Structure 1
């Protein structure tokens, strides 16, 4: 029987194999996703559904077509300059990061193309496979003039160090898959057509492991990163909200 949450979320498509490998694809109308306020609200709920479904043994996180995520509809996030609304965004943003790390199963990230919106989702996965067409960076924050406090600053610093993180988040530049591999952001770079298949291959190997091992290994390997996110993201998102409010004020 198909779980009800498979059809519950507008921008999230689900597929599960008989051996318990669940694939979550970001999409908009069946094509590459444009991230919206609805996506932001739905994703933490979906991750909770995934966590509570005992038939899920491994999660594969990827995009649709040739894009992981590179487009965002900023206006759809609503009146982010208003404190009460920003608090909702802040809670949702932190919940996504915590729940990705807190899932009782390994997560395989497959960068099937550009990941310049919410690249931190891929960096939070347990094993990260990249298409040779993948690129990484932060488009929205430098473009909008809003502080990147929603976890990017923590996750990228953990992955590549302070200097490279500052360069990425100040400039809005991108790095290709080969550079991401050199920096230690990804575990493997494979030809574009093989990226999802390689992620699925690893996922099926892990799905065969005992359930308690999968759950406790997940906790063991993510303890430090989870602690850093809990400590830093609420503060970072508060500063992000201030810059959003300042933009609204300057616009009159």
Structure 2
């Protein structure tokens, strides 16, 4: 989906994504909702797909730093303004083919989000500044993944809530940490603390929260000293196997997730409520 873009064209385009461009050509991308941690509603989700298409089309940048805002890398999954989840997602309120087409649109955005991130042709440094409980595949597709010492990873929006973990979680975790660890994390809802994520090989460094962005900028400035084509071709080299993995299994996972959507708790009714809150912390770090 990438097309030729320039920083001025997307700098102020998105409500949930803040950008800075340094003199060295380092693009700083910060996710947020009203200046606080990003809340994953449909607009933030769909806009992130377009954001990465714009970044992928910008041939004037040399390095990307991707991070969140506030205490969390992201906050809760889709919520209404009053803080409560919707009774049913919009596509389940639509009759017949309208609901099917809306659900297909969401799967389309999910598929393109993955490949737009991988189409970014410059080294990507992900700075996970706190808990990441949804769409962890986005920061984990970075070439260098840094985590604050209070960060943890969890796939709260899929299997723990009655959904198939098909929108990239089943690919990225197995790719990074191995099949046994990956499926264990997804099936149990385990919260993988920063230090354990380092031991598993999912992140490269764990730092005190106040040092995280300084370290990201330090690495980015060092990378940016290399010629632009070296940076671009190195990123392409490193993403090739990951692209193959997603190409092989992303559509398969999305299809199974979409088919099982109507059983999704709390919307579908085929699953009893959990005996613990979504942000409960049953796992030790």
What's the TM-score, normalizing by structure 1? 0.94
Structure 1 residue 200 displacement after superposition: 1.1
Q: Whole-Å Cα distance in 2 between the matches of residues 24 and 216 of structure 1?
A: 22
CA contact (8 A) 1:58 1:107 kept: yes
Q: Whole-Å Cα distance in 2 between the matches of residues 180 and 124 of structure 1?
A: 14
Among 220, 240, 255, which residue is 1:238 paired with?
A: 255
Structure 1 residue 70 displacement after superposition: 3.4
Tell me, yes or no, if structure 1 residue 223 matches structure 2 residue 240.
Answer: yes
Structure 1 residue 2 displacement after superposition: 6.3
Q: Whole-Å Cα distance in 2 between the matches of residues 209 and 78 of structure 1?
A: 47
Q: What is the correspondence of 1:68-79 to structure 2 with a 5 Å cutoff?
A: 68-73=73-78, 75=86, 78-79=90-91
What corresponds to 2:169 in structure 1?
A: 152
What corresponds to 2:113 in structure 1?
A: 96
CA contact (8 A) 1:36 1:77 kept: no
Tell me, yes or no, if structure 1 residue 21 matches structure 2 residue 26.
Answer: yes
CA contact (8 A) 1:13 1:25 kept: yes
Give the 3 Å change call, closer, same or farther, for CA 206–80 of structure 1 in structure 2: farther
Structure 1 residue 151 displacement after superposition: 0.5
Structure 1 residue 104 displacement after superposition: 1.3
User: What secondary structure does 1:110 align onto?
Assistant: strand
What corresponds to 1:135 in structure 2?
A: 152
What corresponds to 2:45 in structure 1?
A: 40
Choose 1 or 2 for highest CA Rg: 2
Q: Whole-Å Cα distance in 1 between the matches of residues 22 and 66 of structure 2?
A: 14
Q: Whole-Å Cα distance in 1 between the matches of residues 10 and 51 of structure 2?
A: 7
Structure 1 residue 250 displacement after superposition: 4.4
Structure 1 residue 55 displacement after superposition: 2.7
Greater relative contact order, per chain length (Cα 8 Å cut-off, separation 6+) = 1
What corresponds to 2:70 in structure 1?
A: 65
User: What secondary structure does 1:186 align onto?
Assistant: coil
User: What secondary structure does 2:126 align onto?
Assistant: strand
Answer with 234-243 or 137-146: which moved more: 137-146
What's the TM-score, normalizing by structure 2? 0.83
Q: Whole-Å Cα distance in 1 between the matches of residues 92 and 19 of structure 2?
A: 30
Q: Whole-Å Cα distance in 2 between the matches of residues 38 and 201 of structure 1?
A: 32
Q: Whole-Å Cα distance in 2 between the matches of residues 145 and 210 of structure 1?
A: 47
Instruction: Calculate the aligned-residue CA RMSD, in Å.
Output: 1.9
Structure ranking higher in helix proportion: 1
CA contact (8 A) 2:162 2:263 kept: no
Structure 1 residue 80 displacement after superposition: 6.0
Structure 1 residue 246 displacement after superposition: 3.4
Q: Whole-Å Cα distance in 2 between the matches of residues 204 and 120 of structure 1?
A: 25
Structure 1 residue 57 displacement after superposition: 1.2
- Aligned pairs, how many? 251
Give the 3 Å change call, closer, same or farther, for CA 210–142 of structure 1 in structure 2: same
CA contact (8 A) 1:80 1:244 kept: no
Q: Whole-Å Cα distance in 2 between the matches of residues 70 and 121 of structure 1?
A: 15
CA contact (8 A) 1:80 1:241 kept: no
What corresponds to 2:13 in structure 1?
A: 8
